[in-house]
Every structure is written in C-alpha cells, then in structure tokens.
Amino acid sequence: MIELVTLPTKANIKSWLKNMPRKPTESIGVRLFLIFFIATMAFVLSLGIISYQMSKSTIQNNAKISNQQMIIQTAERLNLVMDNYEESVEKSMFTPEFNDWVRQASISSTEESERRLFLNKLSIAIGDWIFENDGVVGVYLIPASDEVANIATGTTSDLFLENVKEKDWYKNLQEAGSATWMNDELHVEGEENSSVFRFARALYGKSGYMIVVDIKTTIITDELDKIDLGEDSAIQLVSTFNQLVAFSGANKSISIDFEGGEGQETDGSMQAEDEDGKSTLTVYSTLDSSNWKLLSIVPIANLVKDAKKILLTTYISAAIVALIAILIGIWMARTVSRPLGVMGGLMNEAAIGNLQVRMKGQSRDEIGRLSGSFNSMMEQITALVGQTSQTAKEVLDTAGELGDASRKTAISAKEIATATEEIAAGATKLAEEAEDGAGLTEKISSQMRIVMGTNREMGDTARNVSKSSERGMLQLEELLTSTNLTEEKTGKLVNKINGLKETTSSVLKVLDVMHNITKQTNILSLNATIEAARAGVAGKGFMVVADEIRQLAEQSRQSIEIVGQITDQIMQEMNETVHVLSEVTPLFGQQVIAVKDTNHIFASVQAEMGNLINQLGAVTESIVGLNQSQVVLSEAMGNVSAVAEESSATSEEVASLSNEQQIISGILVTLSNNLEKSSNQLKEKMEQFKI
C-alpha cells in the first residue's frame, strides 16, 4: 500500500508550531528537521565552494602558462636588444685602429700634443657611434692610469665618475677583463633625472681603458609597453640585486628574493604579495645577457573575478534549496511529532490514575508499532496495579511483626554493648601498664649496651697503652745503648783532638824552622846579588839566579805565613771543640740516668695496665650476664603487652559489633515504621487508580 505524501498547509504549520515545546531542541521533530536542513545546506554549499576553488585553480594555472610563454618571448626580445648593443660596441670600439688610439693615449712615452690628438680622435669616433645607435645617451672612456683624464661623450654624469675606480664592479671587471650590465639614474645639471642602464667592458685589462655605455631605459620600456596583462598588472625588469631597472603598468613593489645563488631556476612562477598586501601571480624569466629577471605581476583577484559568478550561483541555489528543505523538514517533523504528542497526553492521564486510556488509529510504520506497544503496556500496568494492591496489604501486616522483633533486638544489643565496653576499658589499662614496663626495660637495655661499648673501648685503650709502654721500654733501652756508645765515642774524639793538637804544635815548630831558613836564604840571595854586582858583566848571570832565589824565598815566606795562620785557626777551633766536648760529656751521664728512670716508669705503667685489663674483663662478663637477663625481661614484658593489646582489641571489636548491632536494631525499628507508613500510603495510592 502506497501512502501519498502531502505538503503541509499554512494551518497545519501554525498548529505544529503551537504544539511545539518551549525549547525547540527538546522536540524530536525539530531535531529531525534541523538534521535534514543542515545536511542539505552543507552538501549544496560544499559542492559550490569546491567548484569555485577548482575553477579558481584552473584559471590561475592557465594564466600562469600563458604569462610564462609571453615573458619568455619578451625576455628573448630584450636579450636580442642588449646583444645588439654588445655587438655594436665590439665592432666599433674593438677595431685595430681604435685600440691603437687607446694604446697611444695610455702609454707614458706619448707626447702631450699627440696624446690630445689621439683623445680627440677617440671622442669623435665615440660621438659618431652614439649618433648611429638609437637609445645611447653617453659613453665613458675611463683610463686605468691616473695620469690620463677620463673621456665622457654625450649626456654623461659627473657623479658617476666620482671615485669610480674604487667601486667593486670596476675592480672586478679590471681583474677579469669581462663585461657587465648595470642600472642607474643619469644626473644632469638643469634637467630632471632620467633612468638609464649601463654596459661596461674592459679594454686591455689593468693597463688599458674601461668603456661604459649609458642607454635610455625607454628602449626596454617600449618593449614592455607592448604587453597588456590587464588592470593593476605590471611587467618589471629587476637587476641581480633586486633593483628595479624598468617597468610597465602599475608600479608596485613585491617582496621576492632572487639571490638564490647557483641552482636558481632561470624561468618559473610563484605567489607573492605587493606593497598593499594583495596576493599576486608572479611569473619570471632570466635574461641570458645580463642575468636580470623579467617579471609579470598579475593580481590574483583579477584572474578569479569571473569565477566568483560560480560562487554567487552557489549562494542562490543554496537559498532555493533551503526553502525546499524547510517545507520538507516541517512535513517530516509534523509526521513524527504529532502521534508522539497524542501519546504524551495519554501518558499524562495515566500518570494521574486513569489506566483505561488507549491509542487509536494505528498505522503500519514505526509510530503505529509504538502505539501498539503503548496499548500493551497499559494493559500490563493495569494487571500489575491489581496485584500490587493485594501485595501492599500483606506487606502492611508483615511490617508490624518486624517492628516488634526489631525493638526487642535493640534492647538486648544495648546491654551486651555496655558489658563489652567495661571489659575493653580494663584490657586497655593493662596494655598501657605493659607498654610502660616495656619502655623502661628498653631504656635499661639501651644504657647497658652503652656501658658495654664503653667498657670495650676502655679495654682496647688499656691494651693499646700497654703495647705502647712495651714499645717505649724497647726504645729507651736502645736509646740507653746509643747514649753509652755516644759517650764512649766522644771520649775517643777528645783524645784524637788532643793528639791532633800535639801534631799541630809540631807543624808550628817546623814552620818556624822553615821561616828561619827562608830568612837566611833571602840574606844569602842579597849577598849573592851584591857579589855579582861587584863582579860586573861576568856576574850578571849569577845576579839573575840570585834574584830568582830571593823571589822564591819571598814566596816561601808568604806561604809559610799563610800556613801558620791556617794552623793557628785550626788550633783555635780544636780548642773550642775540646771545650764543647768537655761540656757535653757530663750531659751524656745525666741522659743515661734519665733514660733509666723513664724505663722504670714505663715498666710500672705496663704492670698497672695489665691489672686494669683483667678488671675490665671481669666487668664485661658481669655486664654481658646482666644484658641477657634484661633481654629475657624485655621479651616477657613484650608478651604481656601483646596479650593485653589483643584482649583490648578483641573487646573493642566486640563492643563495636554490639554498637553496630544496636544501631542496626534501631535502623530496623525505623525501617519497620517507615515500611508500615509506606504500606499505608501505597494502599491509599492504589485506591486512586481506575482499573
């Protein structure tokens, strides 16, 4: 059987809205409507936005490919223009005649008049070249030597020539002998600045000239103006340092860094932002001649302008679909919520006691099956209420009997709890006394352990003192032996020194004899000299010998005097040594006596230490026995305390159980009373139902 679907009328919608709950989200019909509406709108909007994004991406890709081809073609044309200028410079300024003029003007041997003649020829040749090449503004001929002035022909800039030889590009070209392209502004007095770009080439390296050609930027701008990329679009030519050389269209700077070094792609595209923060599609190509970048900058908003129509169509479609979804959603909500509302009203009547309510007009869908289940439920509730009324009467009688039994149990539990508390109090007091005794026993044991430790330390100390006394006695005996030996050797040393004194006296006597012999030898040499002088020439040889003998006698006398002084000093020191040894010898005797007395003292100390060690051993044995007795006493007190604690814990547990039994009995009494009241109330409530 097919059911016809009819859209809700205006009256039905008003009725449904009137019966809707105060909180719409509490209605299942409203929730179904919201789910259907949100799912439909999400699908339509997602489909439209995805279509818009895909169209936008396709337009950007097509524009990127088109602009890439156009930029590459324009870059090729600019390469051709710049290559033409390079070739023209090569043909006109690298001829043998021009090179000869440059060489003659550069060498120092050329006379000044000839130099001016060559410089004039160079200026004329450069002027003719400027006239022949369209777009060339001026030419600079910069000599490597500071002795030759710069040559500037055409519209040139004095500011450019200031410190030109100190600039990095000049030094690099002079070292490498290559060429480069640069961009700059031409500063001419009395005229506004005009943009130019420059071509520089070295002639003869370090010893020649540098040629710099200024070319109007309009040569490049004219080529760029031939391209039209649309509103707010631009084409820019930037140098290797990201400096703007020329542009066409909107002059807006963009933040792009092309200083990538080696590996940088010559052609490519990217998305960037202009100075206003707008996204742009930037396509670039690198010029082979100068390594400059040619950029095409197109606002992305202009590219995707037509794609916004798709987005607008999506919004209109979403509005139409939303209206249809609202109508269908209201019909769905009404179909579901209306039977549920009727069923809710019947349930409210059943709640106040009318168990005769039933659903009418059941359908075959889920709502119809729910109505059938509701009717079956009401029939079962009616039968259950009848049985419950009978059961309530039986429960009322049982509650009275349970109340009487609970009251008797509560009285017995109270008496048991009182007796158990008295037993627990006695056990607790016994446990406290046992704990105090155990604490005192533990203190006595601790003091006994301290005394035993102290006694052991005293015994160890006494044994160490006895051993030290024994070692001291041995050391004193060795010291006594050494002292006697030292005293004996000191006596021998005195005897040796006395013998040495006698020997020294003999030496002094010998020195006196030698001194007299020296005096006689000196007198004899003097007499020999006198006799040789009397002999005249024949006695000269003898005079020399006599003079040598006299000198030897004088040297002997001086040596004898020195030896005599040394011998006197030795005698004096030996006398002092004998005096000191005489004073030391009695001290050795005194030291021997002191060592013997000290040895007797150490022997007495060793004997006393032996007696002390024996007494400490006896004390230690007594303390050990006392400690063992104390351990037995501690164990006994611990057992008494444990038994008392167990008795107290058992009594407390019995008392606690008795209290709990008393509480439970009271609760049972209360519950019996409550059960009786509840039974009466249940009986009254059951009488309200209509069966």
Tokens of 369: 């099956």
Q: In this model, does residue 46 exceed pLDDT 80?
A: yes
Res 189: pLDDT: 45
| 623 three-class SS | helix
Distance between CA 374 and CA 357 in Å, rounded? Answer: 10
Are residues 31 and 25 in contact, defined by beta-carbon separation less than 8 angstroms?
A: yes
Over residues 4-35, the pLDDT tens digits come to 444 445 555 555 455 555 555 566 667 777 78
CA-based torsion, 415, 420, 425, 426: positive or negative? positive
Residue 29: count other Cβ atoms within 10 Å of its Cβ.
Answer: 23
Is it the case that residue 261 has pLDDT exceeding 50? no
Mean pLDDT for 332-343 is 69
What is the percent of the chain where pLDDT is above 90?
0
pLDDT tens-digit map of 184-236: 765 444 444 467 888 888 876 555 678 889 888 888 888 888 887 777 788 88
3-state SS string for 108-125: CCCCHHHHHHHHHHHHHH
pLDDT band at 462 (very low <50, low <70, confident <90, very high): confident
Interval 90-118 mean pLDDT: 78
pLDDT band at 260 (very low <50, low <70, confident <90, very high): very low
Average the pLDDT over 287-291 and give the result.
83
pLDDT of residue 2: 36
CB neighbour burial string for 225-239, b if at least 16 within 10 angstroms, e if fewer: eebebeebbbbbbbb
- CA-closest candidate to residue 219, choices 194, 253, 200, 201: 194
Amino acid at 645: E
DSSP string, 207-272: GSEEEEEEEETHHHHHHHHT----TT-EEEEE-TTS-EEEEEE----B-------TT--SEEEEEE
- Kind and range of the H or E run holding 437: helix 366-535
Helix (H) or strand (E) holding 491: helix 366-535
Which DSSP category does 185 fall into?
A: E
Residue 483 to residue 377: CA distance in whole angstroms: 131
Per residue, what are the HEC states of 319-383?
HHHHHHHHHHHHHHHHHHHHHHHHHHHHHHHHHCCECCCCCCCCCCCHHHHHHHHHHHHHHHHHH
Instruction: Give residue-wise pLDDT tens across range 238-252.
Output: 888 778 888 887 666
Measured CA to CA, the distance from residue 550 to residue 523 in angstroms comes to: 8
The predicted-structure confidence for 626-680, as pLDDT tens digits, reads as follows 777 767 777 776 776 677 677 667 767 776 776 776 777 778 777 777 777 777 7
Which position has the higher pLDDT, 519 or 338? 519
* Residues 420-424, mean pLDDT to the nearest whole number: 68
Q: Which domains does the chain have, with CATH numbers?
A: 59-303 (3.30.450.20), 382-685 (1.10.287.950)
Q: Picking from 120-124, 243-247, 372-376, which range would have the lowest pLDDT averaged per residue?
A: 372-376
